[in-house]
């Protein structure tokens, strides 16, 4: 992290927005925010290279909201996003940053959602619309989205929109909104077609790219855990059980999170304290002293508060929330492995932050290896070891046990019990709150919102369904319509709300294509799919009759296949 990063209050944001930031608990602008906010406030166009996790949403939402007129009820800000998940997420972010703006309304619009509700809300008046390109086009065509007062347009995750085949739609929209507007384009990468859009539709955009070349010491073991199947807190507590650590610093993003997490770990018996910018200097120093002296084992900190923190006994750094960039990462993990000792750095990465992980790896030129969460057996083994160690300690300290010895001898005699049985009952009592035998529920499948994650759409790390669960459908768009598999996936995911992991094998033929979808698909979804358009063709989806059926064209050798064939769920898939 660059040390000269300003405070939010230096950036020129409006008072209600600063209040909201304070209430949410952000301590300091992220690098992309420090660069983008003043430029957007000054009315400039910007071209930002930034991935999810860098704080890019706030980088455009905060300045645009600062300049918004809540009394004007026609849309002033339009954000185009590739997926409904992102549209919802961005709309939620706007809502929370605008908590101090009276009469503020933001509306996410995406396919697969009732049109009537969207129309009603649009009539009532909204200042910000966040939508997927297809649905925004629909509304423009119907005349239900009045963009005559639009001041700013944001293209979020532009490279994703390109990849999903929406770039023509985006250009179509760009042609139909006021020329006198501000445009901000964010993209994790800047491929040529995106640059072309930028050159054509943006006014001398300021390029914002946070580059940092940093390196880390090789005395620090670096691992990451891809957040899935269980929440971060449960994952953290499992890790705390089996990692043997001396001191640990856990990094989170907000001041509020430092306090909340510290309370939760305290409640689980760890001596923990928060360390954040709200605490006065004396209290912060005292906390660091307590960590040094071993009165505290875990400190939950924000980047700002941990700056310069230098405690030799910190053996572990755990990045509970991913840092914004590689520089912040290097700074954080540099809190361990001090004074020639070795250290370990653990990083939690949500599936949608996968790209940021690669950026960090690339910039630090160090591999960060995947880790598995400790299993129930591992935790059990640890608890048993600790339990035995406690008994050993009593003997080692030569505690006088005569009184207990006599008490239990007489109890055993009177009740005709074996000493082992009594010892077992006592062990049970001692460990009642914390049973030695641990069995975790099998990891749940990732939550719905994670399912449609962009990263999963790439096919990597995908858990496919069984062939048996799938039904082959035929859609009336094929190679002659210049369709690409990405167009089909994009339409099914965004317009019909089918999570991409549920979209199987897609095969393109000349006049039609086939796509495998779950047998359990709701009738309502199928109905929607019938009228859905891809490349201007109505899909007219129907069950495929298979080879021999009159509708099935012969397979050609050179049929371009986009292999999304479901793999049998097996060990390899489960291991992932």
Note whether 253 binds ligand AMP by CB under 6 A.
yes
Q: Are 425 and 361 in contact (CB under 8 A)?
A: no
Tell the smallest beta-carbon distance from residue 157 to ligand AMP (Å): 10
Closest CB to ligand AMP among residues 13, 541: 13
Note whether 254 binds ligand AMP by CB under 6 A.
yes
Which of these segments, 53-61, 217-225, 237-245, 328-336, binds ligand AMP (CB under 6 A)? 53-61
Give dist(CA 52, CA 357) in Å, integer.
10
Tell the smallest beta-carbon distance from residue 30 to ligand AMP (Å): 5
Which of these segments, 22-30, 135-143, 162-170, 483-491, binds ligand AMP (CB under 6 A)? 22-30
Q: Identify the residue among 16, 31, 48, 53 touching ligand AMP (CB under 6 A).
A: 53
Closest CB to ligand AMP among residues 54, 455: 54
Q: Are 111 and 496 in contact (CB under 8 A)?
A: yes
Mark 242-268 as b/e (b = at least 16 C-beta within 10 Å). eeebebbbbbbbebbbbbbbbeebeee
Note whether 56 binds ligand AMP by CB under 6 A.
yes
Closest CB to ligand AMP among residues 354, 505: 354
Count each helix (H run) and each strand (E run) in the chain, helices first. Answer: 23, 21
Note whether 31 binds ligand AMP by CB under 6 A.
no
Angle at 41 between CA 35 and CA 47, to 5 degrees: 50
Tell the smallest beta-carbon distance from residue 110 to ligand AMP (Å): 18
Note whether 238 binds ligand AMP by CB under 6 A.
no
Q: Are 170 and 155 in contact (CB under 8 A)?
A: yes
* Segment (H or E) for 384: helix 376-396
Total site size for ligand AMP, rule CB under 6 A: 14
Q: Identify the residue among 49, 52, 187, 222 touching ligand AMP (CB under 6 A).
A: 52
Tell the smallest beta-carbon distance from residue 252 to ligand AMP (Å): 9
Q: Are 1 and 31 in contact (CB under 8 A)?
A: yes
Q: Identify the residue among 1, 11, 13, 26 touching ligand AMP (CB under 6 A).
A: 26
Q: Identify the residue among 16, 31, 48, 55 touching ligand AMP (CB under 6 A).
A: 55
Closest CB to ligand AMP among residues 53, 478: 53
Tell the smallest beta-carbon distance from residue 296 to ligand AMP (Å): 24
> Is residue 508 helix, strand or coil?
strand
Closest CB to ligand AMP among residues 7, 458: 7
> Is residue 66 helix, strand or coil?
helix
Note whether 323 binds ligand AMP by CB under 6 A.
no
Tell the smallest beta-carbon distance from residue 33 to ligand AMP (Å): 6
Note whether 30 binds ligand AMP by CB under 6 A.
yes
Closest CB to ligand AMP among residues 89, 183: 89
Give dist(CA 520, CA 541) in Å, integer.
15
Which of these segments, 23-31, 63-71, 152-160, 172-180, binds ligand AMP (CB under 6 A)? 23-31
Q: Is the dihedral of CA 318, 320, 324, 325 positive or negative?
A: positive
**Structure token digits, residue 346:** 């653990």
Give dist(CA 17, CA 101) in Å, integer.
8
Tell the smallest beta-carbon distance from residue 488 to ligand AMP (Å): 27
Query: What ranges make up the beta strands (E) of 262-397?
Result: 272-275, 298-301, 314-319, 343-349, 369-370
Which of these segments, 50-58, 104-112, 496-504, 511-519, binds ligand AMP (CB under 6 A)? 50-58
Q: What backbone phi and psi angles, to 5 degrees, belong to 114?
A: -50, 130
Closest CB to ligand AMP among residues 302, 494: 302
Note whether 76 binds ligand AMP by CB under 6 A.
no
Q: Identify the residue among 29, 108, 351, 478 touching ligand AMP (CB under 6 A).
A: 29
Which of these segments, 25-33, 164-172, 396-404, 422-430, binds ligand AMP (CB under 6 A)? 25-33
DSSP H stretches of helix in 294-375: 303-306, 326-333, 354-364
Which of these segments, 26-34, 209-217, 231-239, 376-384, binds ligand AMP (CB under 6 A)? 26-34
Which of these segments, 29-37, 181-189, 259-267, 534-542, binds ligand AMP (CB under 6 A)? 29-37
**Structure token digits, residue 431:** 């460990």
Site for ligand AMP in 407-446 (CB under 6 A): none
DSSP H stretches of helix in 166-280: 167-175, 192-201, 232-242, 255-267
Closest CB to ligand AMP among residues 24, 553: 24
Closest CB to ligand AMP among residues 30, 118: 30
Mark 274-300 as b/e (b = at least 16 C-beta within 10 Å). bbbbbbeeeebeebbeebeeeebbbbb
Note whether 82 binds ligand AMP by CB under 6 A.
no
Q: Identify the residue among 49, 54, 182, 272 touching ligand AMP (CB under 6 A).
A: 54
Closest CB to ligand AMP among residues 250, 379: 250
How many C-beta atoms lie closer than 10 Å to residue 150's C-beta? 19
Note whether 256 binds ligand AMP by CB under 6 A.
no
DSSP string, 145-196: S--TT--EEEETTHHHHHHTT-HHHHHHHHHTS-SS-EEEEEESS--HHHHH
CA-closest candidate to residue 80, choices 70, 91, 72, 69: 91
Binding region for ligand AMP (CB under 6 A): 26, 28-30, 33, 52-58, 253-254
């Amino acid at each position: 992290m660059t040390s000269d990063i300003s405070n939010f209050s230096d950036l020129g944001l409006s008072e209600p927005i600063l209040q909201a930031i304070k209430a949410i608990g952000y301590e300091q602008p992220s690098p992309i925010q420090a660069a983008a906010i003043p430029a957007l406030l000054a009315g400039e166009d910007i071209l930002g290279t930034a991935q999810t996790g860098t704080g890019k949403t706030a980088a455009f939402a905060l300045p645009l909201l600062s300049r918004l007129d809540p009394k004007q009820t026609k849309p002033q800000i339009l954000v185009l996003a590739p997926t409904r998940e992102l549209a919802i997420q961005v709309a939620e972010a706007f809502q929370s940053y605008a908590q101090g703006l009276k009469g503020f309304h933001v509306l996410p619009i995406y396919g697969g959602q009732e049109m009537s509700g969207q129309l009603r809300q649009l009539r009532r008046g909204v200042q910000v619309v966040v939508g997927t390109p297809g649905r925004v086009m629909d509304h423009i065509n119907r005349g239900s989205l009045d963009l005559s007062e639009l001041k700013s347009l944001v293209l979020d995750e532009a490279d994703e929109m390109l990849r999903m085949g929406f770039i023509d739609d985006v250009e179509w929209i760009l042609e139909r909104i006021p020329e006198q507007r501000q445009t901000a384009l964010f993209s994790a990468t800047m491929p040529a077609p995106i640059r072309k859009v930028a050159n054509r539709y943006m006014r001398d955009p300021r390029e914002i790219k946070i580059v940092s070349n940093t390196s880390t010491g090789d005395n620090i073991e670096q691992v990451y855990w891809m957040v899935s199947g269980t929440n971060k807190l449960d994952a953290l507590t499992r890790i705390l059980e089996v990692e043997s650590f001396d001191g640990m610093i856990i990094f989170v993003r907000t001041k509020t999170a430092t306090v909340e997490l510290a309370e939760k770990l305290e409640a689980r018996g760890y001596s923990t304290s928060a360390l954040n910018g709200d605490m006065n200097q004396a209290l912060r120093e005292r906390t660091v002293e307590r960590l040094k002296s071993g009165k505290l084992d875990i400190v939950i900190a924000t980047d700002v508060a941990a700056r310069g923190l230098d405690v030799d006994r910190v053996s572990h750094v755990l990045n509970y929330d991913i840092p914004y960039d590689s520089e912040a990462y290097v700074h954080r993990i540099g809190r361990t492995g001090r004074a020639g000792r070795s250290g370990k750095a653990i990083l939690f990465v949500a599936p949608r932050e996968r790209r940021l992980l690669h950026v960090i790896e690339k910039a630090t030129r160090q591999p960060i290896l995947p880790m598995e969460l400790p299993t129930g057996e591992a935790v059990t083994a640890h608890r048993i070891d600790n339990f035995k160690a406690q008994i050993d300690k009593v003997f080692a300290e030569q505690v006088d046990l005569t009184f207990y010895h006599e008490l239990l001898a007489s109890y055993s005699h009177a009740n005709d019990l074996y000493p082992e049985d009594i010892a077992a009952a006592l062990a049970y009592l001692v460990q009642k709150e914390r049973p030695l035998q641990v069995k975790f529920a099998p990891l749940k499948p990732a939550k719905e919102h994670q399912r449609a994650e962009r990263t999963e759409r790439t096919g990597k790390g995908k858990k496919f369904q069984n062939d048996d669960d799938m039904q082959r459908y035929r859609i009336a768009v094929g190679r002659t319509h210049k369709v690409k598999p990405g167009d089909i996936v994009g339409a099914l995911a965004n317009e019909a709300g089918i999570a991409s992991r549920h979209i199987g094998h897609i095969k393109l033929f000349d006049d039609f294509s086939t796509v495998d979808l779950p047998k359990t698909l709701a009738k309502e979804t199928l109905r929607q799919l019938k009228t859905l358009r891809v490349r201007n063709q109505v899909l007219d989806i129907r069950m495929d009759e298979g080879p021999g059926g009159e509708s099935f064209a012969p397979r050609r050798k050179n049929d371009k296949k986009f292999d999304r064939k479901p793999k049998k769920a097996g060990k390899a898939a489960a291991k992932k």
